[in-house]
């Protein structure tokens, strides 16, 4: 007795194997793509933070009293490129697909050692700045947080 053609069981088994393999491949591609995108987002966030830090230095170079002291401490501000120079605003603005939030904090020093301490004498020639980057479409997803010190060297 000859068996001709393919049985329904064989078709179901082979279709299942093909489906599983295809699902695995597509999922792997999606995961790879997501990882690559996350990596790009983090790098872009790092570049934005670097640009922010550079912009603060330029503002300091233009004049501590006019450009840095006028920004209130403990208040979020945003730096943007205004076609010829950097400007600041307290209104949240996007830099491309990201928000770059910056905050100045006052710096206090120990009178005897000059070290930065939590409670001491106010150093009016130094600001602690923080930069936080997050995507416009998801403000809860903090991509990067960094801090630095800005010194009044030239005024």
Partner 1 sequence: MSMINTHKKGFTIIELVIYSAGMLALLTVIIGLIIYMYGFYRDTTVGPRVDRIGVSVTDRITKDIRTGVSFNPDQSVFGSQTGELSLNAQSGETTLTKYIALQNNRLVYQENDGTVLYLTPADLTVSNFYLTSISTPVSEAVHFSIGIDFEKAKETYTRIYSGSAILRHSYE
Q: Is 75 exposed, middle or buried, given 0-12, 13-18 or 19+ CB atoms closer than 10 A?
A: exposed
Max CA-CA distance within the chain? Answer: 103
Interacting span for partner 1 (CB under 8 A) from 10-18, 82-90, 108-116, 130-138: 82-90
63: left (phi over 0), alpha (psi -120 to 50) or beta: left
Segment lying near partner 1 (by CB under 8 A), choices 79-87, 115-123, 130-138, 139-147: 79-87
Q: Residues 40, 73, 93, 117: which binds partner 1 (CB under 8 A)?
A: 40
CA atoms 139, 143, 146, 150: torsion sign: negative
**Judged by CB under 8 A, which stretch of 5-13, 43-51, 69-77, 126-134 contacts partner 1?**
43-51
| Rounded Cα gap, residues 71 and 127, in angstroms | 10
Residue from 27, 28, 61, 122 touching partner 1 (CB under 8 A): that is 61
Residue placing its CB nearer to partner 1 in the complex, 52 or 103: 52
Query: Minimal distance in Å, beta carbon 58 to partner 1?
Result: 6
State how far the alpha carbon of 5 is from the alpha carbons of 9, 10, 14, 15, 18, in Å: 12, 10, 14, 16, 20
Q: Quick check: 119 binds partner 1 (CB under 8 A)?
A: no
Q: Which one of 10, 54, 92, 141 is in contact with partner 1 (CB under 8 A)?
A: 54
Q: Which residues bind partner 1 (CB under 8 A)?
A: 29, 33, 36-37, 40, 43-44, 47, 50-51, 54-55, 57-58, 61-63, 81, 83-86, 96, 154
């Amino acid at each position: 007795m000859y068996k001709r053609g393919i049985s329904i069981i064989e078709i179901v088994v082979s279709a299942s194997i093909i489906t599983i393999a295809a699902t695995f491949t597509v999922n792997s591609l999606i995961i790879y793509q997501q990882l690559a995108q996350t990596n790009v987002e983090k790098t872009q966030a790092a570049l934005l933070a670097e640009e922010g830090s550079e912009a603060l230095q330029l503002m300091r170079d233009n004049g501590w009293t006019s450009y840095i002291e006028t920004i209130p401490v403990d208040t979020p501000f945003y730096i943007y490129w205004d076609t010829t120079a950097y400007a600041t605003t307290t209104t949240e603005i996007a830099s491309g697909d990201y928000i770059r939030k910056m905050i100045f904090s006052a710096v206090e020093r120990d009178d005897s050692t000059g070290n930065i301490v939590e409670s001491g004498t106010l150093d009016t020639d130094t600001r602690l700045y923080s930069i936080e980057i997050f995507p416009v479409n998801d403000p809860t997803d903090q991509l990067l947080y960094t801090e630095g010190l800005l010194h009044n060297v030239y005024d």
